[in-house]
Chains A and B, each alone.
Chain A
Amino acid sequence: MTLPPDFQDWFARQGWQPHPHQLDLLAAQGDTLLIAPTGGGKTLAGFLPSLVDLADGHTGLHTLYVSPLKALTADIARNLARPVAELNLPIRVEDRTGDTRSAQRARQRVDPPQILLTTPESLALMLSYEQAPRIFGSLRRVVLDELHALAENKRGDQLMLGLARLRALAPGVVTTGLSATVEDPDALARFMGGATIINADPGPDPDIAMLATARPAPWAGGGGHYAIPEVLDQIRQARTTIIFINTRAQAELFFQALWAANDDNLPIGLHHGSLAREARQRVEAAMAAGQLRAVVATGSLDLGIDWGAVDLVIQVGAPKNVKRLVQRIGRANHRYNAPSRARIVPANRFEVIECVAALEAVRERDLDGDPRGPGPLDVLCQHILLTACAGPFDADALFAEVRAAGPYRGLTRAQFDDCLEFAATGGYALRAYDQWQRLMRRDGLWRLRDPRAARNLRMNVGTIVEAEMLKVRFRGRGGGLLGEVEEGFAATLVPGDTFLIGGQTVRYEGLRELTVEVTRQPAKQPRIAVYSGLKLATSTQLSHRVQALIGDRLRHGALPPNTADWLALQARVSTLPQPGVLLSETFPHHGQWHFALYGFAGRNALQTLGLLMTRTMEDAGLGPLGFLATDYALWIWSLDPVTDPEPLMDREALRTGLGDWLAGNAVMKRTFRNVAIIAGLIQRNMPGGRKSGKQATFSSDILYDTLRRYDPGHLLLRITAEEARRGLVDFDRIEDMLDHSPRHDHRMLDRVTPLAAPLLLEFGRVPIAGQGRERLAEAEAAALMAEAGLT
C-alpha cells in the first residue's frame, strides 16, 4: 500500500512530512511490530493503513484498536476525528470501554462502527457475547497500542488470547503492534504471535543528568526533600515539568514539601492513582490547557496521553529500571527529533550510585527487562469460561487456538485439560460437584450448565485485581470526595490519626457505610502516609551495573565526591562488594549482633531471603530478632553472631524452606487471592454489589488454608506457587544471585561498616514471625488491658 494523493495533500496541508516508519508500515504485508520512541507519530502510523483502506468504504467493523488506558481511547478518538473529517472519509469511530453507556454498547453489537477503540477487558467482554462471530467476522485490522506496557502483565496475556480468538473469527486479519523502545523487540514480536519488526529512528540522545544540589543526598530515606530548592528552580526555568515519584505516599509528601517552599505560588498539581477520578481529570485538563507549571505524578501518568508542552522530566528517587526511565524521559519534549530533557534526584546515598549506573545505561542504550514466564494459567481459566459464555466449544479446537497465542505457544495438552477441568468442576480431588458442574459436555461440545451463569462470569472479566479500596470523604453532608485508600490501611486507623491524601493532612474520624470520614487538619504533620502497595524492585541488569560500579574503584571518579569518599572508607575498613563475590559482614552494635549481606538482588528477593535465613538462624539457636531488605542489601540482627553465612544460604535448604514455610505466608495468600479471582473461583467485589452485612463474606485466606490441607495438589495452588517464584517472592532472583556470586567473602568486624551504616537508618524492619507474632499479640492484648485498668 502507498500513500494516496489526497492523503499526501492532507499531510502537506498540515505542514507534515510522513515519517519513514509510517510509510514502511503502510507498505508492510502481514503482521508488524513498530518500535518507535515517544512522540514518533506511532498511533497515526498504526491507523494510516486502515484510513487508506477505508477510503473505499467498508460495511461492519474494520479496525479494532486496543490500548491499556480508557483515557487513551478518548484521546485517539479526538485525534482521528480531524483527518476523518478533513479527508471526508466514510468512517465512524467509536470507543467501547467500561465507561460506555449500555445503550451505546447494545447498538454497537447490532451496528458496529468501522473503527472501534477499546481496552483488553472490554475486548474480552465483547468476545464473550453470542454475537461475537458476527461482530468480528468483518474485521480486517487490529492495532495494539503501548504493547510494551501490556506485555508486562496479565492484561497482555488476556489480550493475546483474545487476539487468537479474533484470528479464528476473522481469518486474514492483520495485526499491528505499537511499542515504545524495548530491550528485546524479538520477544515482543513472539508475544504477539510473530511479526515483522519495523524500527523507527530512535531520535537524538536525551539531555539527561543528575540534578546538582547544594546539599548532598541523605544517608537513608526516600523522600528527596533535600532537593526541593533546586527542583523549584528547574520548574521556574522550564515551561511545564512532570515530576515522577515512585510511590503514592512519597508523591503526597513531596507535593506537600514543594508547596511549603513554593514562595512564587507556581501552579503545581498532583496526580496519582489514589486520587478521586474527578481530581485526576481536573489535573489532566489543566495540564492539557497549559495552566500548570508542574505536576507531581506516579506511574499513573506513565502512559501515552499527549501533553505536548512538557519540556522537562524530573525523576525523584532511583529509577529502579532503565527502560522505564527512558520511557519517562520520553515524556519531555513530546516532539520527534528534539532531545528530551530530564534530571534525576537520587533520594539517598545508595541511590546516587544507582542513578550514576542508570545514566550510563541510558547513554549506552542498554535497556533492561526481567523476562516473564509463559502465559499464566489463571488467565487461561478465565478465557475458557468466557469462551463458554459465547457458546458451545470443541476442546481440541480451543486448545489449538490458544496455542496460537504467543504467551501460550508452549502450553501442553495436560495443562489445558487441567484448566478446562477447573472451569467445569472446580478440579477438586474430591468429586463433589458432578451434579452442579459449571461447564458440561454434550454432543461433544462444552457449554454452560446454566446459561444464567454467564452474567456472573462476565462481571468477573479482567485480570486487574485491585486491593479493596475505600472512598475518603470529608465528614458532613455532601462532604467532598478526596480519594481512596486500601481497606487494609483504613483498618489500621484509630480516630484521631492523621494522614495525607490529595496533598492535605486530614484527621480520621471514623468509618461510615464503607466510606472513610475525615476532617481537615491544617498545618499538622501527618502521623501516617502509608498506602501499602507492591514495591517495585530494581531490575537485575541495573543491580548488576550498580554492583560493578561499586566494585571498580577506577570508576569512582564518575560519582559525586562525598559518595566516592564513602566507598573509599568502606574499602579501608572492610572491602567493596565485587561482581562474582557475595560479600557479607558481621559486627556488634548496641549489644546486638548484626549481619549485612550485599546481595544486589532487589528488595523482594532479599526480603524472601531474610525470611528464609532467619528461620534457619532460629533453628541454629542464633536468636534472630529482625531483618530489613533493600534493593542492595539484607541486614539481620540477632542475639548471637553469624560466623559462617554459607550454610545459611545452602541452595537446597533454601528451596525446602521456601516450600514449607512460604506456604503459610501472607504474600502467598495475597497471590492466591489474585489467582482465585482471575481464574473465577471467587468473585471480585463489584462496586455497589458489596454486602453490607459483612458476616456473609469471608476471606480468601480460609480457602487457601483449606485447599492446602485437603487438596494440596490443586491447580490454583500450583499457579500460586509458580507466581510466587517471581513477583513479590522473587525466589528466581535469589538463585540468580547465588549463580552470579559463587564465592562467599565474609568479614568479622568490630563495629558498623560505612556501607552498612545507612541500613541502620532505614525503616521498614520486619520482626520475625511465628512465635514472635504470638508474643506480640499477647503483649498487645496485655498492654490494652493494663491501659484500661484491667488485669
Chain B
Amino acid sequence: MTHAFDFAGHRVEARPSGALFWPDRRWLIVADLHLGKSERLARRGGSLLPPYEVLATLDRLESEIAATDPAAVVSLGDGFDDDTAAQALPDMLCDRLRGMAWGRRWIWISGNHDPSPVCPRLPGETVAELADGLVLRHQAGQGPDVSGHFHPCVRLAGERRRCFLAGRDHLILPAFGAYTGGLAVDSPVLSALVPQGLAIACGGGRALALPVGTLRRTGRRA
C-alpha cells in the first residue's frame, strides 16, 4: 500500500518498493540504482560479490513499471555504479532496459558515481537536472527539490528499513538498487536537510509514515 502526501504543492505517492509515483504526470521516479556495483568491485580487485544485483534491481523496477504504467521513468542519479559499469552492462540486460523503456520517456539524471553514463545501447536521455513542476536532481540543493544520493534509512520495530525522507524543502528518496546501504535519518547531514518531517519506511507490504526530527523528540520522550 502506498503513502500519498503533498510535497511543494504536488500530490505524490511513496511506494513500498522505494519508488516515488507522481500521479498528475504519471512519472515513476527512482534513486540510486547503482547498477553494475558488483562488476565494479571485482574489476578493482575487491570482493567477488554475487553478480545478481542488476538482475534483482531490474526485476523490482520492472514490476513497478508494470504496476504503474508510467509515462516517464526518472533515475535520480547514480543509476550506474560508475560510467564504466554502464558500458560493461551485458547486452541482455541492455535489451531488457530498452524493453522496459518502450513507449515511455526514460531520463537518467547524472549523479556523482555516473556523471555521463552515455552508451548507445541504453535507452533514454541524460540530463544534469530536471525542473518541470518539481525540481528533480541527484543531491539536495536549493529547495524545494526531489533528490536521492543519501540512501536514507530508519529504524522501525527493531529493523533497519530504507525510507523516504520528506520535509518542507526536500524530499529525499531511498536507494532503489539492491546493493546499497543506508544513512540514518537522524544523522547530522540528514537532520540538517530535514529538521522535521516524515520518514516513510519501505520494505514491508506497505509504506509506513513516522515523524522524524523535532516532532519525534518532543513527541516520544520528554
Contacts and interface: CB of A to CB of B under 8 A. Distances in A.
Interface of A: 425-426, 428, 430, 432-433, 436, 438, 450, 452-453, 456, 491-492, 494-496, 680-683, 693-699, 702-703, 706-707, 709-711, 714, 773-774, 776-778, 780-781, 784-785, 787-790
A496 B221 contact: yes
Given A426-B51, A709-B56, A710-B56, A456 B46 contact: yes
Interface string B16-59: 00000000000000000000001100110111111111011000
B45 A787 contact: no
Interface stretch (B68-76, B100-108, B118-126, B203-211): B203-211
Which of the four size classes fits the interface of chain B? 35 or more
A784 B211 contact: yes
Contact of A714 (B39, B50, B53, B158): B50
A769 B202 CA distance: 18
B107 to A, nearest CB: 23
Contacts of A683: 47
Interface stretch (B6-14, B127-135, B176-184): B176-184
Given A452-B45, A710-B50, A784-B216, A697 B181 contact: yes
Greatest chain A CB density within 10 A among B201, B210, B216 is at: B210
Q: 8 closest A-B pairs (Cβ-Cβ)?
A: A788-B219, A426-B48, A432-B51, A698-B181, A710-B52, A436-B42, A695-B151, A777-B157
B52 A711 contact: yes
B164 interface: no
A538 to B, nearest CB: 28
Contact of B211 (A491, A696, A710, A785): A785
Nearest to B40: A436
Nearest to A424: B48
A639 to B, nearest CB: 22
B50 A698 contact: no
Contacts of A696: 181
B212 to A, nearest CB: 10
Contact of A773 (B49, B157, B180, B206): B157
B220 A777 contact: no
Given A428-B52, A703-B50, A788-B216, 15 more contacts: A426-B49, A428-B50, A432-B39, A436-B39, A682-B47, A683-B47, A694-B181, A694-B183, A697-B181, A707-B52, A711-B50, A777-B201, A780-B157, A781-B156, A784-B211
A491 B181 CA distance: 16
Contacts of A495: 221
Given A426-B51, A703-B50, A774-B205, A492 B158 contact: yes
B181 A695 contact: yes
A451 to B, nearest CB: 10
B150 interface: yes
B166 to A, nearest CB: 13
Contacts of A784: 210-211, 216, 219-220
A491 B156 CA distance: 11
A433 B50 contact: no
A694 B178 CA distance: 16
Given A695-B151, A699-B181, A710-B55, A438 B219 contact: no
Interface in B134-177: 150-151, 155-160, 175
Nearest to B154: A781
Contacts of B159: 773, 777
14 contacts: A426-B51, A438-B48, A456-B45, A683-B47, A697-B181, A698-B179, A703-B49, A706-B56, A706-B179, A710-B56, A777-B208, A778-B206, A788-B216, A790-B215
A4 B9 CA distance: 95
Contacts of B179: 698, 702-703, 706
A52 B4 CA distance: 82
A695 B175 contact: yes
Contact of A695 (B39, B150, B208, B220): B150
Contacts of A436: 39, 42-43, 45, 48
Nearest to B37: A698
A491 B50 contact: no
A450 B216 CA distance: 50
Given A698-B180, A781-B209, A681 B49 contact: yes
Contacts of B50: 426, 428, 703, 706-707, 710-711, 714
Nearest to A691: B181
A433 B51 contact: yes
B211 A788 contact: yes
Contacts of B151: 695
B219 A789 contact: yes
A495 B55 CA distance: 41
A787 B219 contact: yes
B135 to A, nearest CB: 22
Contacts of A714: 50
Contacts of B42: 426, 432-433, 436
Contacts of B175: 695
A538 B179 CA distance: 39
B180 A695 contact: yes
B52 A777 contact: no
Nearest to B88: A435
Nearest to A488: B158
A681 B150 CA distance: 26
Contacts of A778: 206, 208
Contacts of A496: 221
A641 to B, nearest CB: 29
Most chain A CB within 10 A, of B43, B47, B159, is at B47
A762 B202 CA distance: 34
A714 B45 CA distance: 21
Nearest to B180: A698
Contacts of B157: 773, 776-777, 780
Contacts of B184: 694
Contacts of B201: 777, 781
Nearest to A716: B50
A698 to B, nearest CB: 4
A698 B176 CA distance: 13
A785 B49 contact: no
A649 B182 CA distance: 41
B48 A433 contact: yes
Nearest to A431: B51
Nearest to A695: B151
Contacts of A710: 50, 52, 55-56
A667 B55 CA distance: 26
Contacts of A777: 156-157, 159, 201, 204, 208
A432 B184 CA distance: 33
Given A436-B48, A681-B49, A787 B155 contact: no
A425 B48 contact: yes
Contacts of B55: 710
Given A491-B155, A698-B180, A698-B181, A785 B48 contact: no
A432 B150 contact: no
